[in-house]
Amino acid sequence: MKRNSEPSRPKRCSRLGSLFLAVALFAGPGLALPASAAEPEPTATSTASAGSASPASATAAPVTSGPAPADASTAPAAVTTESAAPVGAPTAAAVPDPNSDADRAAMAKAVGPGGAEMGQRSARVTSSAKLLQGSKSLTTQSLETQGTWSPTFGVKGLDVSAYQSTVDWLQQWNMGARFAYVKASEGNYYTNPSYSSQYNGSRNVGMIRGAYHFAIPNWSSGADQARYFVQNGGGWTPDGYTLPPVLDFEFNPYEGRTINGFYFGNTCYGMSPAQLTSWVRDFGNTMLAMTGRLPMIYTNTSWWKLCTADAAGFGDYPLWVAAYPSSATNDAGPVPSSWDTYSMWQYSSTGPYAGDSNVWNGDYASLALFTGTRPQGSFDSAGIERTGTTTSLRIRGWALDRALPGATTEVHAYVTAPNGTKTLYKFPATTYRPDVNKVLGLGDYHGFDNQIRINISGNYTICVFAIGKFINPGIGCKSLTVDGAEPPIGSLDEVSEQRSADKESLKVRGWAVDMSRPSVTAEVHAYLYGPDGSSTLYKIAANTSRPDVDRIYSVGSNHGFETSIDIKKAGNYKLCVYAIGLYLHSELGCRSVNIAPGTTPVGTLDSVSVKKTSTQASLNVRGWAIDYGNTSAQIRVHAYVLAPDGTTTVHEIIASKPRPDLNRVLGVPGDHGYETDLAISQPGKYRVCTYAIALSPVSPGNPLLGCTYIDAGFRGSPIGYLDSVKIESANGVASVIAAGWTVDQDVPSESLSVHTNVTAPDGSLTSFAVTANQPRPDVNQMLKISGDHGYTSKKTISLRGTYKVCTYGIAASPFTAGNSLLGCQSVTY
């Protein structure tokens, strides 16, 4: 921006040629203009206060991100009493008062009809300044190369001030400009006389537009200038076509000058980095409070680094960076450390657009969102939700903010209770609302459906607001009348242990009344916390007679409760009891009880043996068990059988068999023996373990009575042999006779069935069975077994020819692998 030191732009531009000559003279022989300077470089002049630290070496004071009070900052003095005044600086008595209407009017007149404008070191501004003032920065600019190109990305736009009092906005639109920024104010003394026509003219052709303020930080406080800006066009509304306000924070346009007695200081306004950053926050926080959003900061990277010591912590302010390359490029150069990138780039001061040329770093849709749309939503309904424990206000609706298309919109509900208290509740709008998406096309999950607990009867008013990025509009208010929200009352009178041989319990007794409906039986919830940390809920009806309660509260006598809660484990217990009303619940009390362990049973596993038949195999399990907590009781025994394939089965046995030996030795009555056959389905080694199951649920445990291993045999087929086949004739009748032996080794004492097949000469087959029950001492001696295992098969025949005889041993073991062929022989008749 610049001071209006020339009468008009045409006259200033007419001196452009002589200005180039001056530049060449000041640059000296051989000093060429840089080919790719990204931005003008600031310099601290010798006119700064003698006692001031150099801005380039100053360290910025820490700055927090929280907003500062609007009056926390005051305008820093232009010249401190500790510093020697620069030559030409006024005395303290001559300094004008920024709060004086007369002094502000005088300053506005002195800076001219245009005041300062954006881009103080840009080619356009410096070219129109006085020769000596502008020449020092022209060595880093190229007036000839600017204005002939634009970046190939983003959305193009322009910024103007009073120096561009007449702009053909339709022409700018046709050239591609889609947004405009207009200078509104400067300091707290200047307003742009062309503001309204420029602001409205840009909008009338369809542009998105906004306002900027040129900061003079050593003139008055940030808060003061923010208020002045808002009062003179710097306001903002999320209407979809108003850009956020801008703080033009850059090179001192009046560097080294004294105007109307006010010395403007060096390029950093004679202020330290800490003073400057504090001033920006004062301005930003005031704008946020007045408009609902922080301003965008327009600055030059080199100037920001020099004068603020590259202050951090401003990333929540959008950045508009000024940098003027000498040739076409899409690279705006570095940005200050507070930002990762920029939102806008002022890339040229000499065209192609009027004023300064700019580019938005994104597409048009993102630029439209940057304007800050108003959140949308609807407060659809309010109702009363009643459960067994609570009364709630249920609110339903939807809300979304187009300025944050991928984010969840928060909903704030202010609830005014019957007693006048107002409470804020915050909810995310994340529930499923496909109807909203069908209309707006912004996703299914923008609904809210929430409950707010209440405990007072009467009239409630609920007002709901959609919390947007920039503004928080109300989306509706509703009123409801709620009855019966008072809490229940009651007392926990007793918690005591109840013990028998096979039962452990807690007796729980007290009373409860739901005062919102005393004629209805109240429910009591008892939460039992066990020694293992578990918790169990028990629901009890308060419907037993308690005339004492009625005498005091006049609510009827049937409001007592009494119950027993079974206990399964010894240890420390805590019981907490609550009276549950129609809408609310109340704690009636908590008690702690220690449950001592019960008795442990004793016993033994006497034996395990294998039983087999031709159809079934089993394990015979015998032993005894007794619980001294009740010696007349017959207790349970659990038998765990581990099979050869690794599977385990559990069998329950009642120790109810007579064991007179036990009665005699232990001196106890009753039958306490156990014996059973447990079916098995595979051969191999089994492990059997038995446990006595205690009567008392709080016994230390169920003791092991014993374990044993037993081999249940193997899976195989019968063995044997067809020893002979012959033909015998007697009384004119011929017979074929087969003899041999067979044994099933899994049940070697069993006499097996033998199947005989006789194939006659004509091919016919005859089958019949015999039993291998004839003595064969030779087989018994060889196999070391007992029993009879020989067989003879006889079949009458009549045809002449050859007969084939085959015999088969039929397995008797339940674990058989199949029947065995004992042999085949042929004989001729």
Residue type, 530: G
Residues 300, 347 contacting (CB under 8 angstroms): no
Gap between the Cα atoms of 7 and 250, Å rounded? 24
Options 186, 250, 356, 744, the catalytic residue: 250
Kindly state the helix (H) or strand (E) to which residue 791 belongs, with its residue range.
strand 790-797
Six token digits for residue 446? 């923008």
- The percent helix, strand, coil of the chain (3-state, each to 5) is 15, 35, 45
User: What does the longest C-alpha to C-alpha distance in the chain come to?
Assistant: 165
Backbone angles phi and psi of 559, in degrees to 5 = -130, 15
Distances in whole angstroms, Cα of residue 452 to Cα of each of 458, 589, 634, 742, 791: 15, 26, 57, 87, 92
Tally Cβ neighbours within 10 Å of residue 94: 12
Residue type, 671: D
Gap between the Cα atoms of 713 and 749, Å rounded? 14
**How far separated are the first and last CA of the chain, in Å rounded?**
136
Options 186, 248, 504, 750, the catalytic residue: 248
Backbone angles phi and psi of 782, in degrees to 5 = -70, -45
Q: Is 248 a catalytic residue?
A: yes
- Across the beta sheet with 458-467, the strand order is 422-428, 410-416, 458-467, 474-482
User: What is the phi-psi region of residue 88: left when phi exceeds 0, alpha when psi lies from -120 to 50, beta otherwise?
Assistant: left
Residue type, 215: A
Options 6, 39, 117, 159, the catalytic residue: 159
Residues 722, 757 contacting (CB under 8 angstroms): no
Residues 804, 758 contacting (CB under 8 angstroms): yes
Gap between the Cα atoms of 684 and 678, Å rounded? 15
Alpha helices in 180-324 (DSSP H): 195-204, 222-229, 273-291, 301-308
Residues 490, 579 contacting (CB under 8 angstroms): yes
Residue 531: CB partners within 8 Å, gap ≥ 6? 569, 570, 571, 572, 573
Residues 633, 502 contacting (CB under 8 angstroms): yes
Q: Omega of the bond prior to 352 within 30 degrees of 0, cis?
A: yes
Known catalytic residues are 159, 248, 250
